[in-house]
Amino acid sequence: MLTRFRQYLLLEKSLSANTLDAYVDDVTKLLRYFDDCNIDILDVTLQDLHEFSASVADLGISPRTHARIISGIRSFFRFLCLDGFRPDDPSELLEAPKIGRHLPDVLTVSEIDSIISQIDLRQPEGHRNRAMIETMYSCGLRVSELCSLKMEDLFLDEGFIRVTGKGSKQRLVPVSGRAIHEIQNYLQDRCHIEIKPGADSFVFLSKRRGRPISRIMVFDIVKELTAKAGITKTVSPHTFRHSFATHLLEGGANLRAIQCMLGHEKIATTEIYTHIDRSRLREEIVSHHPRNL
């Protein structure tokens, strides 16, 4: 049943590998819970699911993680109905916890420049690190999208890169002239890396290992450079993505265009940046509205 559920998520839902693994792991916990309660999964009721949800809440996990677990459970019971295991779906009325809107830290352009200036180009990884951060910021990439970027995804002469996002969905994103320059500088260094078999097509590589750079390594690089720059904000690779979207909005970019570049499926996800930018919007109203003159 669990194997067929994984196949359903992969083939029917086209979920990312991380989300797929999380859903399967959550459903595995669900099955163990009801096994311990001597309740067959095919006999589970809405009340049983409420009790499971309460036990999850008692663990003290975040509302966001709790909501993801509920989402995975709903997908599982929909699958059971579609595959004929059950005639009904007890999870239809199962409520997920409310998730508060979290406004992430955003870097100013000068702070981004300060972080990049900490990169020592005399070091073997210097040009690579500079190209990575410029590309993350210039294109608003998720760290997973940066790590999976391939040589055939680079259309530098045309000023675009092809990005494979969540659910293996692809999009074309414009890339800045500065990022193109840094990528081209790095590609000259990349020619001298001893690349392991199977890693040839990846853009960003570990110089020592000759393999695609990992998410953890990118996090560590960003953390180290941020500390050197003396920036006390909570900064991760995702911060550059948030900063990219916020700076576009501040510059007057259309919200739909930002949605396309970020690869958000729903415009509501992109709208968080209108909340980040509220202080600037208030200043604009105070400065220009006729009732404030």
| One-letter amino acid for residue 110 of the chain | S
198-206: long-range contacts, CB 8 A cutoff, minimum separation 24: 200/151, 201/150, 201/151, 201/152, 202/147, 202/148, 202/149, 202/150, 202/151, 203/149, 203/150, 203/151, 203/153, 203/154, 204/128, 204/131, 204/132, 204/146, 204/147, 204/149, 205/128
Which of 74, 171, 215, 238 is an active site residue?
A: 238
Q: How far apart are CA 30 and CA 73, in angstroms?
A: 8
Structure tokens at 155: 């259309």
| One-letter amino acid for residue 158 of the chain | E
Name residue 160's beta-bridge partners.
155, 174
Q: How far apart are CA 19 and CA 103, in angstroms?
A: 22
* Active site annotation includes 273: yes
From the number of C-beta atoms within 10 Å of its C-beta (0-12, 13-18, 19+), residue 125 rates as: buried
Closest C-alpha among 205, 290, 277 to residue 245? 277
Which of 127, 130, 142, 247 is an active site residue?
A: 142
Which of 78, 150, 166, 181 is an active site residue?
A: 166
Which of 6, 78, 171, 264 is an active site residue?
A: 264
* Active site annotation includes 142: yes
Structure tokens at 83: 């595959």
* Active site annotation includes 33: no
* Active site annotation includes 264: yes
Q: How far apart are CA 164 and CA 256, in angstroms?
A: 19
Residues known to be catalytic: 142, 166, 238, 241, 264, 273
